[in-house]
Amino acid sequence: MRSSWIKFAAISAASVMLLAACGSTASSPNNSSSSSTTTKLKGGTAYFAEQPLSPPTYIFPLMSGANESNVNLYEFDNLMFRNLYFFGKNGKAEINYSQSLANAPVYSNNNKTVTIQLKGWKWSNGETVDARDLVFWMNLLKANTSQWFDYVPGYFPDNVVSYKATGPLTFVMQLNKSYSPTWFTYNELSQLVPLPLAWDKTSASAPTPSATSTNAPDLTTAGAQAVYKFLNAASTSLSTYATNPLWQVVDGPWRLTSFTTQGKAVFVPNTKYSGSPKPTLSQFVELPFSSDSAEFNVLSSSKSISYGYLPVSDLPQKSRVAGEGYNFVPWQIFGFNYMPINYNNPTVGPIFKQLYVRQALEELVDQPQWISTFLKGYGTPTYSPVPTVPANPFADSVSKTVQYPYSPANAKKLLVSHGWKMVGGVMTCVTAGSGANACGSGVKAGQSMNFTLKYISGITSATEEMTAFQSAAAQAGIRITLSQAPFAGVISYSAACTPSQAACSWEMANWGGGWSYSPDYYPSGETLFAAGAGSNDGSYSSSTANTLIAGTLTSSGTQAQSALNAYQNYMAKNLPVIYQPETDVQLSEIATNLHGATPQSPYEYITPEDWYFTK
C-alpha cells in the first residue's frame, strides 16, 4: 500500500503543534525515563507521535485508493479491527498464525479449494467472529470492487468462484484455477477482514440481522452497495468516530474513546479481546503534529512522548535525546519508494509512455547523493519494485544494481537523439512520429517538456530532494514546476483516472513513502502495476508486465523465484515509475522504560498491546 512518509528532516522551528494536548501537561506519570529498575508496571499511558500532517482520516476497513494508507490501516484501524491473518513475527516479514483470527488455510482440489477454520474470537458486543462475518466481507467486496484500493480486475475477489460458511467457524472458497498457496495466502487471503453483523445495515436505525437471516442487506448486490454507502458515509464523519456505535464493535485489542478531527486518538483496552497478549497499558494515545520540528520540540523537552522520532536534521541531537531517556531505533519497512507519473494525462501522458523519457527522468535522480546528503545515510537505493531491505530472499542482483545511473548530460542526449531540441531552455519536440529518432507515438510537434509535480509538505528532506530533481531536470531541458500538499492530499490528487476526467490533469506526484507490501505481502506487483489495478495510480499498462505478473501467481516450488526474477528484472528496466531512495520509515526514539515496542514491524504495524512500562 502507499506508505506514509519517513519522519525526517525538520522545517521551521516556528511551526506549532496541532494540539495543545501534546505539551508537557500530557506526560504520563509512568513515563519517567530516570528509573533504573525493571519492575513491570500494570497500566500507564503511552503516547505515540503521528507523522507530520498525516493523521488518521478513515476508519472503515474497506477503503478506496483515495483513503488507504499505512496510517489508516496499520496505525489506526488495525488496533480495533483485525484482518483474518496477521503479518509480522518478531520483526520478520512473515505470517503470524498465533496472532491471527484463523488457523493456517488448508488447500485441496489441486489448490482450487481453500478451507479456513476460525478460532472463535469474540467481538466486543459478545458475538463470535465467525464464518458469516467473512461472508459479509466478501459480499461487500464483490459488490463494491471499485471502492477497494487493493482490487485488480481478474484477481481477488474475481478469482473466487464461490464462497460459503459450511459451519459456524468454517469458511470455504472455490477458486477459478490453481494458484500458488504461498501467493494466495500472502496476497489474497491477507485481504479478508471479518466484519460484525452489527454493521450490516443501510441506516443507523435499521435492525441488525441475525447470522441465519435470509434477507440481510448484504445478501443482494444492491443491498451490499447500500450497506457500503452507509458505512462509507459514517467513515467520512471524523468527529463521530469515538461516539458512533458502529465503531465501538471491535475485535482488536483496542477501543477508541476520543478522536479529534486534527487526529488525536485515544484508545483503551478492549476487555473482550480474545487474542494474546492482552494490553498491559491502561491507555494508548496518538498525537498529531504539524511538522517534524514541532514533534522534536516536544520529544526533546517535555518527555510527553513515549514513542516518537528523531528528524534527520536533528541527528546531532541524538545524544541529547538519549540523555532525556530514549533509545534510538531506526525502523525499516518491507517496501520501495517511487514517484508515479500519469500515463493517462491527455497532454503529457504520451510523453511518459516513451521509455527513453522515463530513462531520462530516472537519470535525474541522484540516489547515492540524496541518501548521503538529505537522508544523512538512512536510506537505500531503489532500482525495482522488489525491496532489498530488510534482508529477504526475494530481491535478485538486478534489483540491487543501478540500471540508469545519475547523469543529466546523458538524459539530455537521450532526448536530443529522439527528436527533441532545446528551445528557450526547454526541450521541444521537433521530429514527431514513431520512428527510431522521433519523439514517439502520440507526442505532438512543438510539444515541450513542461511537467508539474506535487509532493508532500512539511518535510525538509522531501523539499531538498524535489528541488535537486528540479535542478537536474533543468540541466537536461526539462522544466518541472513544484507544489506541495499534505500526505493525504497528494495520494488523493494522484489517483488513477481516465483521460476525459478533470482529475486526470495531474502529471507527477511524490507522497514520499512509496509503497509497503501490505496487505499484499508477497512482492509480485499485481496490485501496483497490472493493468487496471486499484493502486496503479499512473495507469501504467504493459502486456509484458501483465504476463510476468501472472507468472508469479501460479508458479510454486523452485519456479517461484525464477518467475519473480523475470518480473523484477523487467520492471527495473522498463521503469513503470520513477524510482527514488527508500528510507527507514522513521528514526524511532522509544522511551527507555517502554518495553515490547521492538522489534518494529517490517509492515509498519504498531502493536501497543505488546507494550508495557517498567520502573
3-state secondary structure 68-134: CCHHHHHHHHHHHCCCCCEEEECCEEEEEHHHCCECCCEEECCCCEEEEEECCCECCCCCECCHHHH
Q: Is 56 in contact with 75 (CB distance < 8 Å)?
A: yes
Q: Is pLDDT above 80 for 4?
A: no
Nearest to 10 by CA among 314, 236, 238, 357: 314
Give the CA distances from residue 452 to residues 286, 287, 345, 509, 556, in Å, rounded to whole numbers and listed in that order.
34, 33, 12, 8, 43
Question: Going by DSSP bridges, is the β-strand pair 479-485/450-456 parallel, antiparallel, or unpaired?
Answer: parallel
Tell me the pTM: 0.80
**Other C-beta atoms within 10 Å of 458: how many?**
26
**Rounded to whole angstroms, how far apart are CA atoms 231 and 203?**
9
**pLDDT at residue number 519:** 83
Where residue 25 falls among pLDDT bands split at 50, 70, 90?
very low
- Residue 537 burial (C-beta neighbours within 10 Å; 0-12, 13-18, 19+): buried
Cα(159)–Cα(448) distance, integer angstroms:
44
DSSP 394-425: S--TGGGS-SS---HHHHHHHHHTTTEEEETT
Q: Above 50 in pLDDT, residue 31?
A: no
Q: Which residue has the cell 522489534?
A: 599
Does residue 47 have a pLDDT over 90?
yes
Res 5: pLDDT? 44
Q: What is the CA radius of gyration of the chain?
A: 24
Percentage helix, strand, coil for the chain under 3-state DSSP, each rounded to 5: 30, 20, 50
For the residues 36-57, what does the mean pLDDT come to? Answer: 89
Residue 182 near residue 560, CB atoms below 8 Å: yes
Quick one: what percent of the chain has pLDDT higher than 70? 94
Residues 552-564 have pLDDT tens digits of 999 888 899 999 9
Q: If you average pLDDT over residues 571-593, what whole number do you get?
A: 94
Q: CB–CB of 96/275 below 8 Å? A: no
- Report, as an integer, the average pLDDT of 87-93: 87
Question: Please, are residues 352 and 342 in contact by the beta-carbon 8 Å criterion?
Answer: yes
SS3 sequence of 431-452: CCECCCCCCECCCCCCCECEEE
**What's the pLDDT band for 21 if we cut at 50, 70, 90?**
very low
Q: Quick one: 508 exposed, middle or buried, by C-beta within 10 A (0-12, 13-18, 19+)?
A: buried
The beta strands (E) that lie in 168-313 are given as: 170-175, 254-259, 265-269, 283-287, 307-309
Q: What is the pLDDT of residue 2?
A: 67
Cα→Cα distances 127→51, 60, 198, 210, 251, Å: 35, 19, 9, 11, 10
| Spatial contact of 305 and 295, defined as CB atoms under 8 Å apart | yes
Q: Which helix (H) or strand (E) holds 596?
A: none
Q: What is the pLDDT of residues 116-143, one digit of tens each?
A: 999 999 999 999 999 999 999 999 999 9
- Report d(CA 72, CA 84) in Å as an integer: 17
Q: Cα(531)–Cα(514) distance, rounded to whole angstroms? A: 19
Cα–Cα dist 216/196, whole Å? 13
d(CA 457, CA 441): 35
Q: What is the pLDDT of residue 32?
A: 36
Report d(CA 257, CA 280) in Å as an integer.
Answer: 17
> What is the three-class DSSP state of 282?
coil
pLDDT digits (tens, 9 = 90+) for 236-278: 999 999 999 999 999 999 999 999 999 999 999 999 999 999 9
438: which residues sit within 8 A by CB, 6+ positions away? 418, 419, 431, 432
3-state SS class at 286: strand
Cell (9 digits) for 22:
501534546
Average pLDDT over residues 97-111: 97
Q: Which H or E run includes 359?
A: helix 355-362
Looking up cell 505478473, which residue turns up?
Answer: 549
For 181-196, b/e burial (b = at least 16 CB within 10 A) is bebbbbbbbbbbbbbb
User: Model confidence over 160-201: pLDDT tens digits?
Assistant: 999 999 999 999 999 999 999 989 999 999 999 999 999 999
The residues near 449 (Cβ < 8 Å, ≥ 6 apart) are 351, 415, 420, 426, 427, 428, 477, 478, 479
Which residues make Cβ contacts (< 8 Å) with residue 388, sequence separation at least 6?
A: 380, 395, 399, 400, 582
Nearest to 450 by CA among 468, 484, 432, 425: 425
Average pLDDT over residues 23-50: 63
Does residue 15 register a pLDDT over 70?
Answer: no
- Angle between helix axes 460-475 and 408-416 (nearest 10 degrees) is 50
